[in-house]
Amino acid sequence: MPLTQDTESEESVLNVQNLKLVFETIQGSFHALNGIDLQIGRKEILGLVGESGCGKSSLALCAIGLLPPESARILDGKILFKGQDLLALNEKEMEKVRGTGISMIFQEPLTCLNPLFTIGDQLGESVKVSFERRQSSRNTSKSEDAKEEATRWLKRVGLPDPTGALERYPHELSGGMRQRVMIAMALAAKPSLMLADEPTSAVDVTTQAQVLKLIRSLVDEVGTSVLFISHDLAVIAQIADRVAVMYAGMVMEEGAVNEVFKQPSHPYTQALLRSFPSDEAKGRDLDIIPGSVPDLMSSPGGCPFHPRCKNAKYDCKIKAPEFREVSPGHRVACEDFRSLSLY
Amino acid sequence: MIQELLRVEGLVKYFPAKGAMFYSETGLLEKGSRVHALDGVSFSLDHNSTLGIVGESGCGKTTLARAILFLSRPTAGKVIFEGNDLTDMSYGQLAKLRPNMQLVSQDPFSSLDPRMRAKRIIAEPLRVVNKNKDEVDERVKMVFEQVGLSQEQLNRFPNEFSGGQRQRIAVARAISTKPKLVVLDEPTSALDASTQAQILNLLWHIQSDYKISYLFISHNVSVVRHMSDRIAVMYLGKVVELGQAVDITRNPKHPYTAALISSVPKPNPELRGEVVEIRGETPSPVNPPSGCRYHPRCPYAKENCQQVGPNLVKTEDDRYVACHYPLS
């Protein structure tokens, strides 16, 4: 497929089509993604929510080409990034996409920052790369400029004493500060898409509020699209424009965040929202989802949620549900959905 | 009048500050530096009720759990359990009380011995108090069913269970001796949303069956609010506010509580409300700030907040606030 140059006219930054991913392990094949269809528009934050093992992180790693090559196998599908199929690229071409095209932040910043290099070294690298790629002539990227730009970024993400922080090592910063550095590194190269994999799960709730606000304002400023992965429905409700709910390697429901939270249509989304210990539920039992998340080695046939679904019918056991539109922009993978008004 | 089960008075726990994690903010540590993990914590807990302890990492929640159970001896202060002062007790006397006070810890993957079968894990605390093997077996089967596991799983090893099931085993172990107090230290933090709701319901039912009192420790305000009758909010080793759960969450009086509650994300995109942002970072517990520990981050701090630390005082019925200028 030829590289499309006319990227600005593309509607969606990322377009995932029927993606199927399997991990081959000693125990057998592990079906991580079973036909994912997702789009992320320009300047849009798509929240991807689901429980552990549903394939949220695999999807992100797949998009940035960081899956373990020895075990991961893509069976089918495409990941179009501005019209270009990422799965067809070789490692060298993929390298050019990373950083300036797609960047990523992870849950635990301490394991992602190199403990032997200062913040300045690591952020500077990301800044230099963006300089080099943006300017065709080579002689313009000076290290003083890079340093200045790095300081500016640290200031932007709200680090106290940004010049001093350049000389510090990751262990000298708190968890919240490290996550801010990660965000600066991910955005310094002004990528078109940032993949954020549980970026606030390792920090305290007051820090989380700060980090969410920061991501929101920087994304608006830089104009980056975001795939925001979280297990926490409430966090997604606070930050995302659209939301996709995943279960056992499938997208169960997708739509504008206001609509999905207000009128959840898939039984899984409904159950998840009802199991949240909210103010109204105090003093009574929470609604629960019986059983536990299925083993992806031996997925149940038909709809993966049918063993735990209270609306399940005979058909649900044999036929996989179609992912179809219930209202404009709101899609549900359920044959027998009933919208539920929650608030 | 409802009887008091547990009373904690001025509990203090200091640790010697060692290792790299305390070097960052202050440079080299002076000899004899201490981590002020708990600094004068007082509260009481009634029979058959739940006190929630909420606070962010490093505020001393887990230290409190361990100090109350005398798993690590407090530096100063008293723990009075059913009128008995644990501080004066010998190891042997404490051991006799232990069946009445149990612990469920956060990580069900490390709190269960991987080489023991579920049956033996649950029987272990029982065998300390009851030597009759048949009675122990019967009790194990009973609690196993009460926590929602089936008999045929009794002979399995921990690795054959899911995270939620393991936490059920940990709960079964804790209630096997029919304790009066169970300290739940982040019991659902390692679990998924759907499993969390299952465990919370289970804990709820067990409490009403056994008339247990819970000390429910968590960083998750939504979960603590759901489970607790009363809530104590901790910050840097001190209780800053204590009161009825509904009052604390709906009408916080301490500026820190207000900021904490407003930071909790709500599962409703229409409530992207204003968050009361906290300035800066939690200071090091090695050199806690003078006066009120929250003053460097508090938007309402005045001069005397830097010098005089506020005591936890009663402001109204069952409401205690440690602030010179509580919010109205």
**Record: contact B270-A343, CB cut-off 8 A:** yes
Show residues of chain B in contact with A230, CB under 8 Å: none
Cα B113 to Cα B121: distance, rounded to the nearest angstrom: 7
Show residues of chain B in contact with A171, CB under 8 Å: 20, 24
Show residues of chain B in contact with A209, CB under 8 Å: 262-263, 265, 275, 277
pLDDT at position A145 over 90: no
* B20 interfacial to chain A (CB closer than 8 Å): yes
The pLDDT of B137-148, averaged and rounded, is 94
**Record: contact B281-A275, CB cut-off 8 A:** no
- Which pLDDT tens digit goes with each residue over A26-58? 888 899 999 999 999 999 999 999 988 899 999
Cα A2 to Cα A33: distance, rounded to the nearest angstrom: 27
CA A161, chain centre distance (Å): 30
pLDDT for residue B19: 59
pLDDT-wise least confident of A153-162, A284-293, B115-124? A284-293
Q: Find the helix or strand (DSSP H, E) in which A31 lies.
A: strand A28-41
Show residues of chain B in contact with A287, CB under 8 Å: 197
- Chain A: residue nearest B278 by CA? A206
Residue A137's pLDDT band (cuts 50, 70, 90): very low
* B83 interfacial to chain A (CB closer than 8 Å): no
pLDDT for residue A50: 92
State whether residue A84 is helix, strand or coil. strand
Nearest to B263 among A208, A231, A237 (CB): A208
Place of tokens 């500026």: B255
- Chain B: residue nearest A234 by CA? B267
Show residues of chain A in contact with B246, CB under 8 Å: 282
A185 vs A202: which has the higher pLDDT: A185
Place of tokens 């991501």: A215
**Record: contact A205-B24, CB cut-off 8 A:** no
- Among A207, A197, A258, which Cα is nearest to A232's? A197
Show residues of chain A in contact with B271, CB under 8 Å: 237
Residue B1's pLDDT band (cuts 50, 70, 90): very low
Angle at A79 between CA A86 and CA A1, to 5 degrees: 55
* B19 interfacial to chain A (CB closer than 8 Å): no
* B29 interfacial to chain A (CB closer than 8 Å): no
Nearest to B195 among A176, A205, A292 (CB): A292
Mean pLDDT, rounded, of chain A: 87
* B148 interfacial to chain A (CB closer than 8 Å): no
Pairs across A and B, CB distance < 8 A: 129
pLDDT for residue A129: 83
pLDDT for residue B224: 95
Measured in angstroms, the CA of A64 and the nearest CA of chain B are apart by: 26
Q: In what order do the strands lie in the sheet with A242-247?
A: A102-105, A193-197, A225-230, A45-49, A242-247, A250-256, A330-333, A323-327
The pLDDT of A196-210, averaged and rounded, is 89
Q: Pseudo-torsion of CA B160, B165, B166, B171, nearest 10°?
A: -150
Q: What is the model's pTM?
A: 0.90
**Which of A210, A214, A275 is the best mutation test for B, with the most CBs of B within 10 A?**
A275
- Which pLDDT tens digit goes with each residue over B64-100? 999 999 999 999 999 999 999 999 899 899 999 999 9
Show residues of chain B in contact with A232, CB under 8 Å: 193, 265
**Record: contact A206-B195, CB cut-off 8 A:** no
**Contact of B143 with B123, CB cutoff 8 Å:** no
ipTM of the complex: 0.86
A283: DSSP letter: T
Q: Find the helix or strand (DSSP H, E) in which B145 lies.
A: helix B133-146
Cα A212 to Cα A223: distance, rounded to the nearest angstrom: 16
pLDDT for residue A343: 60
**Record: contact B193-A258, CB cut-off 8 A:** no
The pLDDT of B304-324, averaged and rounded, is 93
Residue A160's pLDDT band (cuts 50, 70, 90): confident
**Record: contact B222-A271, CB cut-off 8 A:** no
**Record: contact B263-A206, CB cut-off 8 A:** yes
Structure tokens at A48: 């991807």
pLDDT for residue A52: 86
Measured in angstroms, the CA of A287 and the nearest CA of chain B are apart by: 7
Cα B201 to Cα A328: distance, rounded to the nearest angstrom: 37
**Record: contact A275-B196, CB cut-off 8 A:** yes
**Which of B194, B224, B250 is the best mutation test for A, with the most CBs of A within 10 A?**
B194
- Which pLDDT tens digit goes with each residue over B24-61? 444 555 667 788 899 999 999 999 999 999 998 889 99
The percent of chain B in helix, strand and coil, each rounded to the nearest 5, is 35, 25, 40
- Which pLDDT tens digit goes with each residue over A208-218? 998 899 999 88
Q: Pseudo-torsion of CA A242, A248, A249, A253, nearest 10°?
A: -30
Show residues of chain B in contact with A177, CB under 8 Å: 281
The pLDDT of B146-172, averaged and rounded, is 93
The pLDDT of B122-149, averaged and rounded, is 92
pLDDT for residue B29: 58
Measured in angstroms, the CA of A322 and the nearest CA of chain B are apart by: 24
Structure tokens at B91: 């190891």
- Give burial (CB, 10 Å; 0-12/13-18/19+) of B244: middle
pLDDT for residue B80: 95
**Record: contact B268-A282, CB cut-off 8 A:** no
Structure tokens at A285: 């039992």
A10 vs A265: which has the higher pLDDT: A265
The pLDDT of B266-283, averaged and rounded, is 82
Measured in angstroms, the CA of B236 and the nearest CA of chain A are apart by: 14
pLDDT for residue A197: 94
The top-scoring range by mean pLDDT among A5-14, A182-191, A224-233, B185-194 is A224-233
pLDDT at position B22 over 80: no
State whether residue A269 is helix, strand or coil. helix
Show residues of chain A in contact with B260, CB under 8 Å: 205-206
Show residues of chain A in contact with B222, CB under 8 Å: 234, 276-278
Show residues of chain B in contact with A212, CB under 8 Å: 265
pLDDT at position A5 over 60: no
Cα A84 to Cα A95: distance, rounded to the nearest angstrom: 14
A55: DSSP letter: S
The pLDDT of B193-222, averaged and rounded, is 94
pLDDT at position B23 over 60: no
Cα B252 to Cα B108: distance, rounded to the nearest angstrom: 33
pLDDT at position A317 over 80: yes
Measured in angstroms, the CA of A157 and the nearest CA of chain B are apart by: 13
A110 vs A14: which has the higher pLDDT: A14
Measured in angstroms, the CA of A188 and the nearest CA of chain B are apart by: 23
**B:171-200 residues touching chain A, CB 8 A cutoff:** 192-198, 200
Mean pLDDT, rounded, of chain B: 90
Spell out the residues 6+ positions from residue A111 whose beta carbon is closer than 8 angstroms to its own.
Answer: none
